[in-house]
Amino acid sequence: MLADYATLTRRATDRLIEFPGRPLIMGVVNVTPNSFFDGGRYLEPAAAVAHALRLVDEGADLLDIGAESTQPGADPVDEAEERRRAIPVVAAVAKAVRVPISIDTSKATVAQAALDAGAALVNDVTALRGDGAMVEIIARMGAGIVLMHMRGTPRTMQQEPRYEDVVGELATFFNERIHFAISRGVAHTQIVLDPGIGFGKLLEHNLTLLAQLDQFTRLGCPLLVGVSHKAFLGQLVDRPVQERQWATAAAVAMAVERGAGILRVHDVRAMREVMQVTMAIGHATGRPMKAQHA
Ligand code: HH2
């Protein structure tokens, strides 16, 4: 079964994303004024491109370029502005590096323009529920698609999220979304799943999802996990956003141990080392890692 997703997005060979027997490190590039960790730092295209190249130097296997913040309460960005911010950066980075590029967007026109400019993967935090035109683009372009779980929208998602059984409810959600995508012409091998840590979840939900991440490996798609500097870590260690690197490291290690296939992080070099050490210990125990990346 592993061979089925040993590589991803196979339809167009130039969009292949290969899994080299370990999780991939996805470096975050936010071309926004208001992202919770690095908002405003890379709003200028030249600064964003330089940051992306630095992340590749530090060992990023993938880059996730986004131009709209999804933090709780964030205002939506209009389509023209999102394109204006994101596309020149995607185009310049795609020319400069060989690592696959993901576009973090829920808008079909932004996704199409980014794929045309060289992106290989669309990171849609609405899991194809936001823009009706998105699924057709993914099917036609043979691009990878991240289906992330979110309760509500970024504006509303932290208003009293409730679950009876958070793991079971996410499994049902993933199954339904996979079915939908496949029914519209997307191949199973194009799909990546993401529990959406911090998206409409309380601390206890985030912890349960990370603790039981391996429950989702049976769905047969790589799992993307984004914990980097998030608020739930601040609740645990009482540190401001910029000082959550160690807390992030602990969560990344646990996610690796439980089968994460792609780690979406801001601190690429450090988290790559965390991943390497976690993998080495996992191998030495002789216990197979849950392996979304073999
Ligand atoms: N987290 C953020 C943004 N996009 N996409 C996926 N698939 N999974 C995540 O966990 C995820 C995501 C939040 O991080 P960041 O991009 O740094 O912040 P902001 O949304 O404020 O730009």
- On whether residue 289 sits in a domain, the answer given is no
C-alpha dihedral, 236 to 204 to 228 to 87, nearest 10°? -140
- On whether residue 70 sits in a domain, the answer given is yes
Closest atom of ligand 1 to 37 CA is 17
CA angle, 273 as apex, 272 and 279 as ends, to 5°? 90
Interval between CA 125 and ligand 1 midpoint (Å): 8
What is the residue with the minimal CA distance to atom 11 of ligand 1? 226
Choose the residue to mutate in 42, 69, 129, 147 for probing ligand 1, maximizing ligand atoms within 8 Å of C-beta.
69
Alpha-carbon distance values, 150 to 29, 46, 194, 204, 206 (Å) = 21, 32, 9, 16, 12
Domain interval for residue 217 = 5-284
- On whether residue 290 sits in a domain, the answer given is no
Instruction: Please give the chain's pLDDT, 294 residues, in tens.
Output: 233 344 554 444 456 788 888 999 999 999 999 999 999 899 999 999 999 999 999 999 999 999 999 988 888 899 999 999 999 999 999 999 999 999 999 999 999 999 999 999 999 999 999 999 999 999 999 999 999 999 987 777 777 789 999 999 999 999 999 999 999 999 999 999 999 999 999 999 999 999 999 999 999 999 999 999 999 999 999 999 999 999 999 999 999 999 999 999 999 999 999 999 999 999 998 766 665 554
CATH of residue 84: 3.20.20.20
Q: Roughly how many angstroms between the first and final C-alpha of the chain, as a whole number?
A: 10
- On whether residue 69 sits in a domain, the answer given is yes
Closest atom of ligand 1 to 68 CA is 22
pTM for the predicted model, two decimal places: 0.93
Interval between CA 286 and ligand 1 midpoint (Å): 34
Q: What is the pLDDT of residue 14?
A: 56
- Active-site residues: which are they? 230, 264
Q: What is the pLDDT of residue 65?
A: 98
Number of domains forming the structure of the chain: 1
Interval between CA 11 and ligand 1 midpoint (Å): 27
**228, 38 in Cβ contact below 8 A?**
no
What is the residue with the minimal CA distance to atom 5 of ligand 1? 125
- On whether residue 294 sits in a domain, the answer given is no
Measuring from each residue's beta carbon to the nearest atom of ligand 1, which residues come in under 6 Å? 28, 30, 32, 35-37, 66, 69-71, 104, 123, 125, 146, 148, 194, 196-197, 224, 226, 264
- On whether residue 110 sits in a domain, the answer given is yes
- On whether residue 292 sits in a domain, the answer given is no
Interval between CA 4 and ligand 1 midpoint (Å): 27
What is the residue with the minimal CA distance to atom 10 of ligand 1? 226
Interval between CA 226 and ligand 1 midpoint (Å): 7
- On whether residue 171 sits in a domain, the answer given is yes
Beta-carbon contacts of residue 185 (< 8 Å; ≥ 6 apart): 135, 136, 139, 140
